[in-house]
Amino acid sequence: MNLLEFQAKKLLMRSGVPVPRSWVAKNATHVPPGIGYPVVAKSQVPVGGRGKAGGVVVVKNETELRAALKKLFALEIKGHLPVAVLLEQAIDIDRELYLAIRLNRDTKYIEIMASPHGGMDIEEAPEKPSVYRWDGQTTPDDLFSFLNLPPEELAPLLDTLHHAFTTHDLTLLEINPLVVTPCYEVQPLSSEPSLPQLVCADAKISVDDNARFRQPNFPWPETTSANMRVLSGGTIGCIANGAGMAMSTMDTIVSAGGRPANFLDIGGGTGEKEFVAALKQISELPGVTSIIVNIFAGISRCDEIARGLIAAKQQLPNLQPVFVRLEGTNREQAGKLLAEAGIPIEPSLRACVEKAMRE
């Protein structure tokens, strides 16, 4: 999951990383109290390149801010309207650097990516960012000279970033630009006499989706609703994993003369809770008389699906008859669990469809 900038900045601030003071405008007429001008108004859309698209505007007073909010809330960027506008105390910029921390799943190492040419034109920079394998403790020596920053400035920042990265199960923490500023008041307010010189002016954060269970405080999306498409007039609900499997399930229903009530690819790694939520959502669709579950468990496990099914039967008194085709990891275990619960596994998808049609 990717965080929006204002969510990312909040995480950074709480982790002790210097970010500008900020406020959030929730709609086109919302001017939060206590703003110190000038501020930079930034469209909160889930894509980059906002600066070039007109989504970042510097304003000097409330009149300008009101005009900017009106404009920004109406401005679509790469197909997205903002959910909010972040207002940040404007910074004096000496230099814009690029600094990212990412998880390299191939090498199983955390890496630092850095470039002395940060900002909006990073793609056109004369050379690509340098990549350093990083143990989180020893900063690669040439990074300081490469970015032309003294170790006493950069090392503590890296330390804080590494801590934020690992404790929140991040896969990417990209700061572009990391601003070198002459003198600036940042949050969290420093008790040190000399103010920090480095400020994170933009942040892109990706959180590992598999860490959802450990990171309950992130704004995770509803598990299943995002992927589900409802088809009006259908009577047979379906759950499959993989878009191809979901489509072929629907095709099989249609070719047998039935009408699918929805499309749902519940994806890999689905646990019991997500599965119950999906069944509940489908069972509440108007007109549904039966549900087909067609799962080939690779990343997911048949026994977890079976547990989900059994839990759903117990928790959902109005659940329609469910016909199950289940293959893959832990199929035998699932068969036993389901047999004990009186739920048969059908020999094929076609068998499921034939039975579902009779309901």
3-class DSSP state of 287: coil
Q: Compute the distance between CA of residue 56 and CA of residue 50 in angstroms, rounded to an integer.
A: 6
**51 binds ligand GDP, rule: CB under 6 A:** yes
Q: How far is the CB of 336 from ligand GDP (least distance, A)?
A: 53
Amino acid at 65: L
Our CB check for ligand GDP shows the closer of 90 and 228 to be 90
For ligand GDP, the closer of residues 48 and 258 by Cβ is 48
Asked if residues 123 and 98 have their Cβ atoms less than 8 Å apart, the reply is no
Indicate which single residue of 9, 50, 325, 331 sits in contact with ligand GDP (rule: CB under 6 A): 50
Among the listed residues 36, 49, 151, 221, the single contact to ligand GDP using CB under 6 A: 49
195-214: contacts with Mn ion (CB under 5 A): 202
Contacts to ligand GDP from residues 72-91, by CB under 6 A: 88, 90-91
* Residue from the set 40, 72, 75, 291 that interacts with ligand GDP by CB under 6 A: 40
48 binds ligand GDP (CB under 6 A): yes
Q: Site for ligand GDP (CB under 6 A): which residue of 35, 87, 96, 149?
A: 96
Residue (48 or 234) nearer to ligand GDP, CB:
48
Is residue 152 part of the annotated active site? The answer reads no
| Residue matched to tokens 């909006």 | 120
What is the C-alpha separation between 5 and 201, in angstroms, rounded? 10
Q: Which of 5, 88, 96, 98 is catalytic?
A: 98
Which of 18/48 has CB closer to ligand GDP? 48
**Scanning the structure block, which residue is given the tokens 């601003």?**
179
The Cα 113–Cα 185 span in angstroms is 26
The binding track of 149-188 with respect to Mn ion, each residue x by CB under 5 A or -, is ---------------------------x------------
Residue among 259, 316, 317, 328 nearest 292 (CA): 259
Least separation in angstroms between residue 56's CB and Mn ion is 8
Residue-wise over 310-345: b if at least 16 C-beta within 10 A, else e?
Answer: bbbbeeeeebbebbbbbebbbbeebbebbeeeebeb
Antiparallel, parallel or unpaired: β 204-207 and 170-180:
antiparallel
Q: CA–CA separation, 64 vs 51, rounded Å?
A: 18
Please confirm, yes or no, whether 184 is among the known catalytic residues: no
352 binds ligand GDP (CB under 6 A): no
Q: What residues make contact with Mn ion under the rule CB under 5 A?
A: 176, 202
